[in-house]
Structure 1
Amino acid sequence: MGILSWLFNRPEAAKSNTAAKHQPAQAQSRLAQPDLQATPQIRRDKHFLRVDSLSFLGIYQLSKSKKWAIAWRDADPSVGRGGHRESGLGAYVLADVSSGTVACHGSMARPNNGQVCETGVFCLEDWHFGSTLSGTFSVFDPSGSVILAKELTANIFTSGISKHGKYAFCATGNSPTDHGNKLFLFDLVNRIEMYSVTPKAGWPDSYEVDEGTGELMALFKDMGSFRYNAHGEFMDADQLGDANLNSSHYDRIILAAEKILGEVNLTDECIQEVLIAVQRARSLGADENLAWKPTALKVQGLAHEQLGQYPEAVLVYEEALALNPKIGVKRRLASVSKRIKAE
């Protein structure tokens, strides 16, 4: 039976268990009852974890040692609703994989992106009902008690927990509120928010926390890791800039190049390095992408201009304007053209 068929064709006995409508940040968690402890409690395959006694089927994530599994279902089978919706609680299960039993289970509006550490401490994102930019990031102990819950006025982009449950983090997407485009780190031992900062490393592939130092590392698959210290200060800006310039992604190269050219007191050697990087970005595919080519030409023009290569700057500025009249180089083109006439 497929997951959708299973979710939305539950027997009537299971439907009688429906909870009341969820309010944000009020996840309902329960310890597994004694009658749920018969072995085996859980069954799982590569993608899904099933607990028949709870009429539960959901996707799951394992802890690194594979002792624990956190599973969640962003759907309410009793009313046939899943994903984006206005009502109908989802559910989650923490399973002790080593014993095949349920440690705790509960419900929340829209549970997603669970993570569990080696001690059984786990986190979940509640994406909330409706279309408002919002979410709640919650962390629980293995019994299902809430350690920390952060209600946000922005959608959650990513989240996670450190190896032994000392720290947790989440990052948000864009929002007009103070919570938009922010990176949060939480101390779970003291149950406090350590910081909320705009992520200067941008959008990494993942994050990881060093439990010894409290440093949060932004991990990029093709570039390495770059650190925020325990106060949220980004420590590796120069290293990230260099890594972006040497990246195989033309968008990262172009954005990094433009940022560097906006700095003061650059040496000609540095500007020449940026120019070479932008030209490489164009050859990597930026010229085939009409959304990126005008920006690449603009940044290349800035480099030529700062190096005093005015004829070359005019050529690329003109090409950029032909592709996008609003690219923002009309005044620069006029200024550089006057310089050439004055020589």
Structure 2
Amino acid sequence: MGLRNWLFGGSKAQVPKAADTEAPNGKSDDSIFGDIIDIPSRNFIGLSAKSPNRRFSIAWCDGGPNQSRAGRYILLDRGKIVAEGKMARPNDGKVTDNGVFILNDWGDSESLSGVFAAFRPDGSTIVVRKFSANLYNNGLSADGTRAVCQTANAPGGDGNLLTAFDLIHGNELGAWRPESGWARSYEFSEDGNTIRLIYPERGGFLYSVDGKFIDRMKWLAAGLACGDLRTVETLLAETDNAPPYPLVQQLLEALKVALSAPVNNSPNARARILRFRGICFEAIAESRAALEAYDEALALDPKIGVKRKADRLRKVVL
């Protein structure tokens, strides 16, 4: 199957073509638009992304997991090719208004691997970072001075790792596993010292470039508001299952939201919620309510891990 068929599923869709040089009038070839760029003289067709001012386009052609094609990338400035190179599996291209661009190389299909790379407008390399994990996504600051990449799950040290880069000096600023999980996108502060991780359902949350979770309390509050069980479990663990009264009230409200969520309709999920409710009630000496929650949890899942708690409370309540 040719690259055109691979990209378009065998359809005969019309593909915009990019010029190899600027148009005679000094304006760009306006055929560069959308997500696909076709450059016949280079025998190149691939996905692309534009800079915010639409001056630059970075296009890439993934060589495929078995390298059945030549993996390549091309940078265009107003439709003119200004840089190009080879990369096994280029993906997730981004480019700034000044032509700095980044790519994720997805690596081969035989092992967990990936390479993040950043380039100057002339195609010279700013930084390259290899990972023993697949790459999930990346981000680039508007001025081209900062970038990040996020890895996916993997055993060992590189799994779930968010790595920040200084593209002025070509070095790594920090690498950490965000407590808030994989973000959809990233925003960078003007001074380059913080990164906002963006989540469609919860909003944005700040980290410093060395991994400090600046907006942790905001993240936890957002988790409680939407009934996130991982947030509840985190707060219970951090208080040794003995949360203070004000926190118990917040946790119980969160668990009420969780009980009404369709995603928690399974017996195991509901038993988990009821176990957390029992812990909360027990923390404020509401023994009867705690026992009822534990008994309901055990009825749904006998292995939920609260039988001893229920037996002990039964002796107190009855």
TM norm. shorter chain > 0.5:
yes
1 or 2 for the larger relative contact order (CA 8 Å, sep ≥6)?
Answer: 1
SS of the equivalent of 1:44 reads: coil
Map 1:122-161; keep pairs closer than 5 Å. Answer: 122-161=101-140
Q: How far apart are the structure 1 equivalents of 2:293 and 2:125?
A: 57
Q: How many residues align?
A: 303
Q: Does residue 64 of the first structure (1) align with residue 86 of the second (2)?
A: no
**Worse overlay, 171-180 or 318-327:** 318-327
Separation of aligned partners in 1, 2:304 and 2:102: 43
> In structure 2, what residue type is equivalent to 1:91?
R
Give how far 1:42 is off: 7.9
- Asked if 2 retains the 8 angstrom alpha-carbon contact of 1:166 and 1:211, the reply is no
Report Cα offsets for 1:168-207 as digits up to 9, x if no partner: 1011122111111111111111111111112122223222
Matched, 1:111 2:99: no
Letter in 2 for 1:254: L
Query: 2:290 is matched by which residue type in structure 1?
Result: A
**Does the 8 Å CA contact 1:206/1:219 hold for their aligned counterparts?**
yes
> Is residue 191 from structure 1 mapped to residue 170 from structure 2 by the alignment?
yes
**5+ residue gaps, structure 1:** 10-34, 76-81
* 1:87-119 deviations in Å (ceiling 9; x for gaps): 5432212122xx221221222111111111121
Instruction: Give 2:237's aligned residue.
Output: 262
Cα distance in 2 for partners of 1:120, 1:137 equals: 17
- Which residue of structure 2 aligns with residue 3 of structure 1? 4
Structure 2 residue runs without a partner (length 5+):
11-18
Specify the alignment match of 2:36 in structure 1.
48
Native 8 Å contact 1:314 1:333 kept in 2: yes
Residue equivalent to 1:205: 184
Contact kept? 1:42, 1:102, Cα under 8 Å: no
Identify the match of residue 337 of structure 1 among 297, 314, 318: 314
CA distance in 2, matches of 1:42, 1:133: 40
- Say if 2:305 is the partner of 1:328: yes
1:37 alignment partner in structure 2: 21
> For 2:260 and 2:171, how far apart are their aligned partners in 1?
48
Greater Cα offset, 314-323 or 167-176: 314-323
Question: Does 2:70 align with 1:89?
Answer: yes
TM-score, normalization by structure 2: 0.85
Letter in 1 for 2:74: V
Q: Say which of 234, 255, 258 aligns to 2:213.
A: 234
315-324 vs 142-151, greater mean Cα deviation: 315-324
How far the C-alpha of 1:167 sits from its partner, in A, is 0.7
On the 8 A contact 2:281/2:287 being kept in 1, the answer is yes
SS at match of 1:61: strand
- Contact kept, 8 Å, 1:87 with 1:109, in 2: the verdict is no
Quote the Cα distance in structure 1 between the aligned partners of 2:259 and 2:178. 27
Q: Distance in 1 between matches of 2:248 and 2:299?
A: 25
Bigger Cα displacement from structure 2, 317-326 vs 139-148? 317-326
CA contact (8 A) 2:51 2:97 kept: yes
Percent of aligned pairs sharing the same letter = 32
Measure, in 2, the Cα distance between the counterparts of 1:177 and 1:271. 36
Partner of 1:259, secondary structure, is helix
What are the superposed Cα offsets for residues 144-167 of structure 1, whole Å, 9 maximum, x if unpaired? 111100000111112111111101
Q: Tell me the alpha carbon deviations over residues 50-103 of structure 1, each in whole angstroms, 9 at most, x when there is no partner.
A: 11211211111122222222121213xxxxxx3x3255432212122xx22122
Aligned to 2:157: 178
Question: Structure 1 168/61 Cα, relative in aligned 2: closer, same or farther at 3 Å?
Answer: same
Comparing 41-50 and 306-315, the one that deviates more:
41-50
Question: Could you say if the C-alpha distance between residues 119 and 316 of structure 1 is closer, same or farther in structure 2, counting changes exceeding 3 Å?
Answer: same
Asked if the contact 1:94–1:102 (Cα under 8 Å) also holds between the matched residues in 2, the reply is: yes
- Root-mean-square deviation (CA), in Å? 2.6
1-side partners of 2:62 and 2:188: how far apart? 27
- 1:241-320 to 2 correspondences below 5 Å: 241-247=220-226, 250=227, 253-264=228-239, 266-290=243-267, 292-320=269-297
Tell me: CA distance 1:74–1:5, structure 2 relative to 1, closer, same or farther (3 Å).
closer
**How far apart are residue 337 of structure 1 and its match?**
3.0
How much has 1:38 moved relative to structure 2?
5.5
